A and B are shown apart, each in its own frame.
Chain A
């Protein structure tokens, strides 16, 4: 019997290595896997490369991981927010590397990794600072920038419901990066609010099929934490 359900968040993050590239789901705090991040802090892996839309809010979640000094580099679209003081301080002190990627390119580079694409030409960012010194090509009269996939060792995502085979459904706009991140990592770990029996999820409504998910843990928190 295949059972991907882990007993705890601590068990779910076992084996994540020093220096790993980790995709972290969420747009701001919606869809952020708070329990998995807390478990990763306790687990102790450091020198991490974090790929996420933002660079942490307040002092919890991703911000707490940064604050614990576990992150070498952040790849994200929007680090600077009103409540990103943890990142801001590390960045200004020269203690963290930053790669800024347009949001859609971030999503598509992650998707490309999961879909086995070697590289792709994308119009976003052409002629801007973020595409300086990059390979470009004019195709049918439009200019494109060559973009490479963002592969990862681990993805930490949050979903609404899951079953022991790893099938997932999400909740509202908390879906955001979850489905593409699940595809792009060697080890995808999902925290879910509810575990249901195999067969309980409508196959027509499954968003992430279990093939993309290796571990699931149920976290008893009906609502996510807020960041303040």
Chain B
């Protein structure tokens, strides 16, 4: 199976980011999680009003500032310097998390260790003995947005599928994931299981299902 995995034509991280960005409509209030999801910002359509939320207290987040223009009071959730676009708003933490928990945020894009076939998410803790637990806003984000998108490699470096029947890592939230974007496919989490909407060239839904070890319905329209 390792050989089969090695020969697959995968999307690059940038291609994955562009694919997620294509699903974000004008007017959406969006939170991009730390890591891979942050890349999505670079591929959002120019000239459309899309509002980026960062949970430390800013709506209307802009790109990183030019060198020398960094302001230690203006950072994102990853504690990196950012800018505030015209029309931006600052707010305190309780309001910021009310935007999520209260269902005001449209889309949240997160990374994951594992997603289960029912949309359970594990992305905060490996559960390893001796690891210092640190959750940050992961649990709030996972349950907060109207739609939670997951963006991750389909397989771990060891070749284990990250889409699993049941999460073995500690859960971040139950049944919270609506769509999964991987380097091999776009998969919806439906009431009756997983539905593959897109699969990379040269791979069938049946093959992907077999390699992944989870049932996938073929929901491709084209």
Contacts and interface: CB of A to CB of B under 8 A. Distances in A.
A220 to B, nearest CB: 17
Given A103-B93, A103-B97, A180-B92, A130 B135 contact: yes
Contacts, number: 143
Contact of B84 (A79, A111, A172, A176): A172
Interface string B113-153: 00000000000010000101111111110011000000000
A19 interface: no
A130 B140 CA distance: 12
B133 A128 contact: no
A126 B90 contact: no
Interface stretch (A8-16, A25-33, A63-71): A25-33
Given A123-B101, A124-B143, A128-B171, A103 B132 contact: no
Contacts of B144: 104, 124
Interface stretch (B5-13, B54-62, B177-185): B54-62
Contacts of B137: 77, 102-104
A175 B92 contact: yes
From A88, A172, A174, residue with most partner B Cβ within 10 Å: A172
A172 B73 contact: yes
Contact of B71 (A111, A170, A172): A172
Nearest to B172: A128
Interface string A82-104: 00000010011000001011111
A203 to B, nearest CB: 18
Nearest to B130: A92
A176 B130 CA distance: 30
Chain A contact patch, size range: 35 or more
Interface in A108-165: 108, 110-111, 122-130
A15 B144 CA distance: 41
Contacts of A102: 135-140
A107 B93 contact: yes
Interface in B69-115: 71-75, 79, 84, 90-94, 96-98, 100-101
Given A29-B72, A172-B90, A175-B91, A125 B132 contact: no
B193 interface: no
Contacts of B93: 27, 53, 103-104, 106-107, 176-177, 180
B134 A78 contact: yes
Contacts of B90: 170, 172-173, 175
Contact of A30 (B72, B101, B135, B140): B72
B73 A107 contact: no
User: Which of B134, B135, B138 neighbours the largest number of chain A CB atoms within 10 Å of its CB?
Assistant: B135
Contacts of B65: none
B58 A179 contact: no
B174 interface: yes
B132 A105 contact: no
Contacts of A126: 143, 173-174
A78 B57 contact: no
Contacts of A98: 132-133
Interface of A: 27-31, 53, 77-81, 88, 91-92, 98, 100-108, 110-111, 122-130, 170-180, 207, 223-224, 226
Shortest 6 CB-CB contacts between residues of A and residues of B: A104-B97, A104-B140, A107-B93, A80-B134, A174-B73, A103-B137
Interface of B: 54-58, 71-75, 79, 84, 90-94, 96-98, 100-101, 125, 130, 132-140, 143-144, 170-174
